[in-house]
Amino acid sequence: MFDFSGKTALITGAASGIGKATAEYFFGCGANVVLADINEGAARVVAEALDPSGERVSAFRYDAGASVSAAEVVAHAVERHSGIDHLVSCAGIYDQQITAEMTDEAWRRTIAINLDGVFFLVRSAIPVLRDNGAIVTLASVAAHVGGTGGHAHYGASKGGVLALTRGLAKDLAPRIRVNCVSPGLIETPMTGGLIGRMGEDILKQILLRRYGKPSEIASVIAFLCSDAASFVTGETIIVSGGAYMG
């Protein structure tokens, strides 16, 4: 575990899956945590379970595809904790549509939430990020391989996150470090459908012969935000159990 005492982490997509595990991990390391999610009710349940007093944890309704929502959640973090030290963008969507049948709406929604949302959030947070802070974005192995069939839009959105991360690292250096994590197949509500459809076929591609746990991504995110990674910026760590070695 790392020591984030006195630090503030703003984590999006924090009501479930990797975002929830990351919020739990950072709280356990002593951080103040703002849980941002489109499902405010679920985020509040997580917040209350972590910190019934509400002193160190709060929940906020956040729509990743709306720039105004990014500004609002950043303002909330500043109001509660005077600034932000660690920014983690876990919010995202993952649906299936064959490219030939994909609607304009499906394409734009995926890009808006998975890619535009990262840009909106970081842009809003830059003025209030404290010196020596850290940003971690979430891409996916799909960004490196193009995704599985029917997920070209998802792969494209996450490929954009990889490029955006590197650009941000250049723009924000040396004051802020920016890195990315590319998870493989992690057992979350978002991936349940894929695991159900492909099951053993996917499992055979994973060298460790199991699916990842959200906590195993959370610990890598925490590492990248910690002083242990103080000379790491502009990098992507792939966490896939050996399914992809880029």
Is residue 209 within 8 Å of residue 152, measured between CB atoms? no
Is residue 84 within 8 Å of residue 10, measured between CB atoms? yes
| Catalytic entry in 25, 94, 154, 211 | 154
Residue 1 vs residues 44, 45, 179, 184, 225: alpha-carbon distances, Å? 25, 24, 19, 23, 12
Q: If residue 130 lies in a helix (H) or strand (E), which one and from where to where?
A: strand 129-138
| Omega cis (within 30) before 174 | yes
SS3 content of the chain, % helix, strand, coil (to 5): 50, 20, 35
Helix, coil or strand: residue 181 = strand
Is residue 240 within 8 Å of residue 191, measured between CB atoms? no
For the stretch 101-109, contacts whose Cβ atoms lie closer than 8 Å and that sit 24 or more positions apart, written own/partner, are 102/152, 102/153, 106/153, 107/153, 109/65
Side-by-side strand order, sheet with 8-12: 57-61, 32-37, 8-12, 84-89, 129-138, 176-183, 236-239
Active site residue 154: yes
- CA–CA separation, 28 vs 137, rounded Å? 21
Is residue 194 within 8 Å of residue 138, measured between CB atoms? no
Give the residue numbers marked as catalytic.
154
